[in-house]
Amino acid sequence: ASDAAVNQRLETITLIQSLRSSLLDLETGERGYVITGQAAYLLPYQQAREQLANKHEQLMQTLALTHAENAPSLEAFDTLIARRVKIAEDNIAVRESDGLEAASLRLLAAGGRQTTDQLRSHLNTLEQSERERLRELSQYADRQAQKSRWMWGWGAALIALLLMVTGASMVSKWRHRQRMVTMQQTFVSSVSHELRTPLTAICGALGMLHSGYAGALSQDAQRLIEVAHHNGKRLAHLIDDILDIEKLESGQLTFHWQVVALKPLIVQSVEANQPFAASFSVSLTLGAAIEALRGDEHVEVDPERFAQVMANLISNACKHSPPGASVEINAQSVDSSWLEVSVLDEGSGIPWSFQSRVFERFAQADGSDRRRTGGTGLGLAITKGLVEEMRGSIGFRSAPSQGSCFYIRLPRAVAE
């Protein structure tokens, strides 16, 4: 609204100045023709008269909106304009009909000068009034701007204060969470180590009993020893997994880097996991693509950690494959920078609803999956962490009832 008022005042001032200029042109054309009698003065006179009429109409429309309280003064202004135009018309008519002397006498006696002075006085008063109102609007705008600056300043200060308080609270909460995470990691690590030592002794003792170190055992005792030994090994494996995941997250897991050929690593992993696959009545096979490898494809990995990755993927595939099925291990070149190793099973596939959580810690499709496979849900989380530490990536392709294919991609390395 303030901007509109300012624009209106500026427009009014411009119209007043244009009207004053047209009035001067009208008077100049009139006097020039009366004195010289030359028709050339009539053209600027006619143009000034038309402009005077147009500007006068525009100004009256504008003033009717902004100066309604001064209606009598505006009517007097209308009267003066009409009188000045009539005087000019009569002076020019006398010059045309009676000549220079009669027109000159009329020019002095008709009152044109006095009428023009009155008009200019009206215009000056109007312009001064508009400029005063424009100044008031400008001062009001300055006050509003100052008020806005104060409000913005206080608002910014308040926001900064809130951010400081919120930031301090967030930092405090973050530090608290970090302390809790550190305490949790320390607790898990300490408990895992404390459990592992006696568990190793228990498993060792059970193994010795199972092998007949303390003499022959009855068939029932032998079966109980086997159950205890098997579950002791499962518990030891779980503790190892917990330690591995904790070390991965804290960056304390050590790697012994070597540049090695990929194909022999895969063959060794398949041979090492054959007994495990046989316990599930599943066969391990090498895919056709791996035979196409030239043998000079190298990767930079920790061979033991790579073997752990392959063991996790193969054991996972075997657990989810039906008896008599085959698990295919393959390898191929993706491009000039990457090599891919894949493990394909013939299992029931991964449910769509579970696929987004496959690599989460302790994630399993459902309770029946845990009972059937006996897993802890840490294997794939550890595998993902190990692969990423070896600067690679892991993914899978699966659909319900169509099996699953897990693959890892590792960057090529140049053999020394």
Indicate whether 396 belongs to any domain: yes
Indicate whether 160 belongs to any domain: no
Q: Are residues 103 and 37 in the same domain?
A: yes
Cβ atoms of residues 246 and 185 within 8 Å: yes
The answer, as to whether pTM is greater than 0.75, is no
Bridge partners of 227, per DSSP, are none
How many CB atoms are located within 10 Å of the residue 114 CB?
12
- Domain count of the fold of the chain: 3
Q: What stretches of 256-342 show up as alpha helix (H) in DSSP?
A: 262-272, 274-279, 288-291, 303-319
pLDDT digits (tens, 9 = 90+) for 399-411: 888 899 999 999 9
Cβ atoms of residues 34 and 95 within 8 Å: yes
Q: Are residues 180 and 280 in the same domain?
A: no
How many CB atoms are located within 10 Å of the residue 332 CB?
17
SS (H, E, C) 145-177: HHHHHHHHHHHHHHHHHHHHHHHHHHHHHHHHH
Indicate whether 162 belongs to any domain: no
Distance between CA atoms of 192 and 186, rounded to whole angstroms? 10
pLDDT digits (tens, 9 = 90+) for 216-254: 777 777 788 877 877 777 677 777 777 777 777 777 788
Structure confidence at residue 383 (pLDDT): 92
How many CB atoms are located within 10 Å of the residue 171 CB?
10
Q: Are residues 201 and 229 in the same domain?
A: yes
Indicate whether 157 belongs to any domain: no
Cβ atoms of residues 404 and 352 within 8 Å: no
Specify the higher pLDDT residue, 270 or 12. Answer: 270
Last residue of a domain, one of 191, 222, 250: 250
Distance between CA atoms of 384 and 303, rounded to whole angstroms? 16
Q: Are residues 205 and 142 in the same domain?
A: no
- In this predicted structure, the answer to whether residue 340 has a pLDDT above a threshold of 90 is yes
Indicate whether 159 belongs to any domain: no
Q: Are residues 241 and 317 in the same domain?
A: no
**Structural Rg of the chain based on CA atoms:** 50
pLDDT digits (tens, 9 = 90+) for 360-377: 877 776 555 554 555 667
Distance between CA atoms of 391 and 386, rounded to whole angstroms? 9
Distance between CA atoms of 263 and 376, rounded to whole angstroms? 30
Task: Give the strand pairing for 326-333 and 283-286.
Answer: parallel
Structure confidence at residue 1 (pLDDT): 46
Last residue of a domain, one of 197, 221, 250: 250
φ, ψ for residue 329 (rounded to 5)? -105, 125
Last residue of a domain, one of 250, 279, 307: 250
Indicate whether 186 belongs to any domain: yes
Q: Are residues 121 and 204 in the same domain?
A: no
Indicate whether 70 belongs to any domain: yes
Return the H-helix or E-strand segment holding 51: helix 42-66
Cβ atoms of residues 374 and 319 within 8 Å: yes
Structural domain range at position 133: 2-148
Cβ atoms of residues 95 and 62 within 8 Å: no
Q: Is 327 helix (H, G, I), strand (E, B) or coil?
A: strand
φ, ψ for residue 220 (rounded to 5)? -65, -45
